[in-house]
Amino acid sequence: MKFPNRIYTIEEFMRARKSIEEGHIHDLRVIGQSIFKNKVEKVLSLIKRAEYYGFLQTYIRKICEIEGISQLRETEATIWLNKHVINNPIESARFIIQKSYQMKAYLDGEKYYLKGELPAINASINFLQKLEEKLVNKKMKKKCKYSIKQWTENTIL
């Protein structure tokens, strides 16, 4: 079954779900200026290194450059990224994986209001831990470790 162009109606939602169940993989497209595309390619190489690229392609169709707020667009299976998020490759990769897990939860019909983004955030932390194991570059490994610390540290504001 073909993945629908948009996911607005129950019928489109069910087609999207069935398509994923049948093994659909998106041909991930990156849309934006060439500098943005180059940065996204570096981020995608980190996602590939951690062996999450297949998961990403299952749930996300496009990554688009925007000037507004970075977010998941469930109805389009698209992640919108702004220039601030994309400037940190480790955090960008984590954000993309988080949004991929949110898309999965959406298509699985999980009730967002019960747990919010917590399951997707936890999955993105697991991604960071796997990425840290796979990284060879000590500087990138250090950045990854710092990001893990930021997301797991208990702080009182």
Q: 40-98 pLDDT, tens per residue?
A: 999 999 999 999 999 999 999 999 999 999 999 999 999 999 988 999 999 999 999 99
| Enclosing domain of residue 143 | 10-150
Query: What's the confidence (pLDDT) of residue 157?
Result: 46
pLDDT at 1: 78
Whether 14 is covered by a domain: the verdict is yes
Query: Per the domain annotation, does 1 fall within a domain?
Result: no
Residues 6+ apart with CB under 8 A from 83: 36, 65, 67
pLDDT digits (tens, 9 = 90+) for 7-40: 999 999 999 999 999 999 999 999 999 999 999 9
User: Which residue bears the tokens 């697991």?
Assistant: 126
How far is it, in rounded angstroms, from Cα 40 to Cα 43? 5
Whether the CB-CB separation of 97 and 124 falls below 8 Å is answered with yes
In a domain, 21, yes or no: yes
Residue 23 counted as domain residue: yes
Average pLDDT value for residue range 115-126: 89
Q: Residue 155: what pLDDT?
A: 55
Structural tokens at position 70: 């970075």
Does a structural domain hold residue 2? no
At 110, is the pLDDT very low, low, confident or very high (cuts 50, 70, 90)?
confident
Kindly state the tokens that stand for 103.
Answer: 């898309």
In whole angstroms, what is the distance from residue 113 CA to residue 61 CA?
25
Q: Is the pTM of this model over 0.85?
A: yes
Coil/strand/helix, residue 148 = helix
Whether residue 18 is contained in a domain is answered as: yes
- 50-60: b (≥16 Cβ within 10 Å) or e: bebeebbbbbb
pLDDT of res. 117: 83
5 within domain boundaries:
no
Count of structural domains within the chain: 1
At 3 the three-state DSSP class reads coil
> Rounded to whole angstroms, how far apart are CA atoms 74 and 91?
21
Tokens of 150: 């930021």
